[in-house]
A and B are shown apart, each in its own frame.
Chain A
């Protein structure tokens, strides 16, 4: 009986889907199914094929092979509109909103209700308000999207998906730029939607979130199914093991360091973003200092000021005993202080250039003679760094854009390693990169600290801060609210300082 078949069939089923790109086998006979009112987490290292699979489901790309079944019926998802007609909406990692338009206009973009040929603003306002209340977002539909926080913008995206009667919401790394609080409210919305029968495919690198939210976990590895975990079977270790295909006994490789002399000394530093709060702290040679806090606490701004991107208004910065007032990144670099920025693609790398050209970009000047390129040295540096950082690339001429996030980050770090840094500033060094690459970054931080490099790293991942730092500074609204030794570190102690509870 075909009808019974349809009701028994899962809401969404992916059968043996394959997809290739030039040089890459993105997906190979991948299967996946999603029930009604279910939250399915899809996890895997970068390059495991998660994004490709989601793009296929959302109609952005078509599979080379295999089929997608909605309610048991083969569906042809050859455009975003076709996917939407089947009730599938994708919420991108980088939000797709027109931030110069208001919330209502964004929700109804391309589907504006008309009245006598003109946009019916009254109707937009009423309808938008209804969807906004469904996601618990208390803003006026007339608010310009650009004025909302990232967390609220995401809610607008979800409201938009609701407005097209979606049955399946695909969320690609939705929390990657959210604060803890915003993450919590997102979770609440997801749980509410689930209880109303919405199905969600949730992609994340953050295994803690997956554990909290998912009814079931599907793991992809190298473009194939690597396994599946039911709700009771979901554990951090089990997920990591399936993702990387091997046991990770020691995730954070930490040994005790003997801090040496003070390498970075900051006194009364006032940044342009938070001029009211002077910052003072020190980092010693061989020490790894974590900087925790909520998004927007002013940590990135502080690193940018140290690095000379947004010059300080006031204060003293000493690098290895030499005083410096960086007005340009080059001022900091000359003294041996380098920054691996948070926004890798915009600030860390020239995406359209090769691995080699990116690796050598910072050291070109040092190795040049009378302004001429030293191509031999360039080749040596690039070969050395590719090997040392274990950059996975077909060759040094590969365009960096085509590397995975983890390998891109390795190129950024390799560029600075070639300059032999004394102080390394790392801003969210493992954001958006897979577990395997994360571990290699940790190993590298450990190794550099062992060689006497002073490391100051900003991270919004609590686990990472606790795992990697010798000492942790916590920031809240532009000021350093406290410092925690390794034995004082706990989620509670960090959160207390990060939310400024001590001051209230």
Chain B
């Protein structure tokens, strides 16, 4: 395993153990199952943003796409009375088109990703609040079968809790993402252009197309995430559904070893990062000594500590290596 990924895994274990020792409720089957489910849901959108971050870009519109899809799906099913097998392809197609739109603006008009997706963040939420008239959306008691996509569990023999369905979806998504990133030429193209877009272009790579694909992957997985989120909770309030999700996703990707400078990223790391975020949130809820309203402060502090430690360890290792070689050279 990559050193960065190993480091973040250590941090996850530490937070996990601390929480387990400080709270009896933490290891209860119901809590663990819920934790795994939330990790899977956030993991899916985090894998998406990882692709964009690898190109050296950013996507701030994830939370709003989650909201658009999360409210749009029940809106189509309950109010427009569209069959669900029509509504789902529509929301996923819309997600893909959003990614295409971002990608085109960024590559052809040369707009900055931050600006494009910041406008997306505002736009999609505004649109959603408009067509729903700010009414909370949900499926009530209909759609039982489809909701299983998010709510079902696969029982694990010998354990008291089952494997939540989103976790299965995350594994599928992650395996495909990891193969795409590490085993195909397109993954290599993304890693190369993330480090030096010009050199990639000069090597005959269609960099614009690859960047567009990255934004489409991100928006598509945001859409899948949005769909699963609403199927899970069965209620979406347009004014706050998906709020800050882009920041959770970006934080997970960065913790998992993606560099915001581009050209670096590990799918496994991103998922561990997403898990760490969820364990942290869970810890804050369960440990009474931590007031719940400082949740953001705790998360911010842990992320900062994580990335600082990474940097310090790296410098320390480099210095030790230099000293060792110097000593060896002097002895020789």
Contact = CB atoms under 8 A, between A and B. Distances in A.
B280 to A, nearest CB: 31
A373 B185 contact: yes
A368 B186 CA distance: 10
B173 interface: no
Contact of B326 (A64, A334, A362): A64
Given A22-B318, A350-B192, A362-B204, A373 B184 contact: yes
Interface of B: 183-186, 188-189, 191-192, 195-196, 198-206, 263, 318, 321-322, 325-326, 329
A25 B203 contact: no
Contacts of B185: 364-365, 368, 371-373
Interface stretch (A93-101, A293-301, A351-359): A351-359
B287 to A, nearest CB: 41
A305 to B, nearest CB: 14
A353 B203 contact: no
Query: Interface centre among A328, A333, A351, A361, by most B CB within 10 Å?
Result: A361
B228 to A, nearest CB: 28
Contacts of A361: 188, 192, 200, 203, 205
B242 to A, nearest CB: 33
19 contacts: A22-B318, A22-B321, A22-B322, A329-B201, A330-B204, A330-B205, A330-B206, A333-B204, A339-B202, A346-B198, A346-B199, A350-B196, A352-B195, A352-B196, A353-B195, A364-B189, A368-B184, A368-B185, A373-B188
B191 A20 contact: no
A70 to B, nearest CB: 26
Contact of B202 (A22, A25, A329, A353): A329
A357 B188 contact: yes
B263 A352 contact: yes
B327 to A, nearest CB: 10
A438 B189 CA distance: 31
A20 B203 contact: no
Residue in B186, B196, B203 with the greatest tally of chain A CB atoms within 10 Å:
B203
Contacts of B189: 364
A162 to B, nearest CB: 36
A22 B325 contact: yes
B314 to A, nearest CB: 13
Contacts of B201: 309, 328-329
Contacts of B183: 372-373
A371 B318 contact: no
Contact of A346 (B196, B204, B326, B329): B196
A330 B200 CA distance: 11
Q: Which 4 A-B pairs have the closest CB atoms?
A: A333-B204, A330-B204, A364-B185, A352-B195
A351 B326 CA distance: 26
B326 to A, nearest CB: 5
B70 to A, nearest CB: 33
A287 to B, nearest CB: 24
Given A329-B201, A330-B205, A364-B185, A349 B322 contact: no
Interface string A325-347: 00011100110000101000011
A341 B201 CA distance: 12
Interface in A181-204: none
B322 A365 contact: no
Nearest to A360: B188
Contact of B203 (A362, A368, A372): A362
A20 B204 contact: no
B325 A372 contact: no
Contacts of B198: 346-347
A353 B204 contact: no
Nearest to A341: B202
Nearest to B191: A353
B196 A349 contact: yes
A309 B188 contact: no
Of the candidates A351, A353, A357, A415, the one having the most CB atoms from chain B within 10 angstroms of its own CB is A353
A348 interface: yes
A485 B186 CA distance: 46
Nearest to A307: B202
A25 B195 CA distance: 28
Given A22-B325, A352-B195, A362-B204, 19 more contacts: A20-B322, A25-B329, A309-B201, A309-B202, A329-B204, A333-B204, A346-B199, A347-B198, A347-B199, A347-B202, A348-B199, A350-B192, A350-B195, A350-B200, A352-B263, A353-B263, A361-B205, A371-B185, A373-B183
